[in-house]
Structure 1
């Protein structure tokens, strides 16, 4: 291995050195150009105290998450048209560009939760649904076969 600053072959263990915001592997001489990074302490193992016979919970209930519904693009377009606003006008009300509204309405962009909430409030529609995580648990426990090369590649026949 070589020093990333001077290029000398390293005999000893390289030093992780932070130089101008980048972490580099350097020799001892070049480490003076930055700050040597110390190894982070290893995390302590958490567990039941010794001698206790308590049982551990293997899974905890998941908190509900918020997701944008599937047909968000149609709802946004219909609500905007019902109010008689152009994409530019809606964009001004939301402090967003008209191109963002266009991409949302065409389905090319899924709005993040923050933008979806602004759309809900302005257009008075429901775009966010709460997901309690049970469907994700079912998917996690379902037997899923791994992808094969045939699933990924399109085979071209002559």
Structure 2
């Protein structure tokens, strides 16, 4: 794991630190820029004196989706093939005409909910599953994402 501020590889456990209003996993050196968040203490014994293991929620991993390239042209072409105006489409999905304009001109990318509405109504495919494996391949290749430290110059006093 890498420090979210300086980008150095963290050996051992990262330090959870609150910097401004964000909680980040950082290295020991960068933890001095914020307030270290302590982990909660162990659960107290119950009345019978037996400790119970904390319940862990098992949420399934969310499937990530992304909008395909050229989504504006796909939506516009299907809308026009049906003979609908932008106003007609906007009314059918309960959105403003300005939203349809921005989506078709690709100045705005629809969120997943809106993209699903458009897919269902127009019977098109503009969402695709995001492959998590791509991120791993990029990191193996030596490229890592930008950290806050890459973007902002830290004032050292």
Answering whether residue 39 of structure 2 is matched by residue 43 of structure 1, we say yes
Measure how far apart 1:143 and its partner are.
1.7
Tell me, what secondary structure is at the counterpart of 1:144? coil
Partner Cα distance (1:143, 1:74) in 2: 35
Consecutive unaligned residues of structure 1, counting only runs of 5 or more, are 1-38, 47-61, 148-158
Query: In the superposition, relative to structure 1, how do residues 134 and 44 fare at CA in structure 2: closer, same or farther (>3 Å)?
Result: same
Tell me, what secondary structure is at the counterpart of 1:90? helix
Q: Paired residue for 1:70?
A: 69
Contact kept? 1:63, 1:132, Cα under 8 Å: no
Answering whether residue 140 of structure 2 is matched by residue 144 of structure 1, we say no
- The two structures have a TM-score, normalised by structure 2, of 0.53
Q: Paired residue for 2:113?
A: 114
Q: Paired residue for 1:102?
A: 101
Partner Cα distance (1:67, 1:81) in 2: 24
Partner Cα distance (1:144, 1:41) in 2: 30
Deviations 1:127-147 (A, max 9, x none): 110123111111222223899
Consecutive unaligned residues of structure 2, counting only runs of 5 or more, are 1-34, 43-60, 147-157
Q: Paired residue for 2:127?
A: 128
Give the CA RMSD over aligned residues.
Answer: 2.9
Tell me, what secondary structure is at the counterpart of 1:85? coil
Q: Paired residue for 2:85?
A: 86
Partner Cα distance (1:119, 1:113) in 2: 10
Tell me, what secondary structure is at the counterpart of 2:121? helix
Contact kept? 2:138, 2:144, Cα under 8 Å: no
Instruction: State which drifts further: 104-113 or 64-73.
Output: 64-73
* Greater relative contact order, per chain length (Cα 8 Å cut-off, separation 6+): 2
Q: Paired residue for 2:16?
A: none
Find runs of 4+ consecutive structure 1 residues off by over 6 angstroms: none
- The two structures have a TM-score, normalised by structure 1, of 0.52
Q: Paired residue for 1:28?
A: none
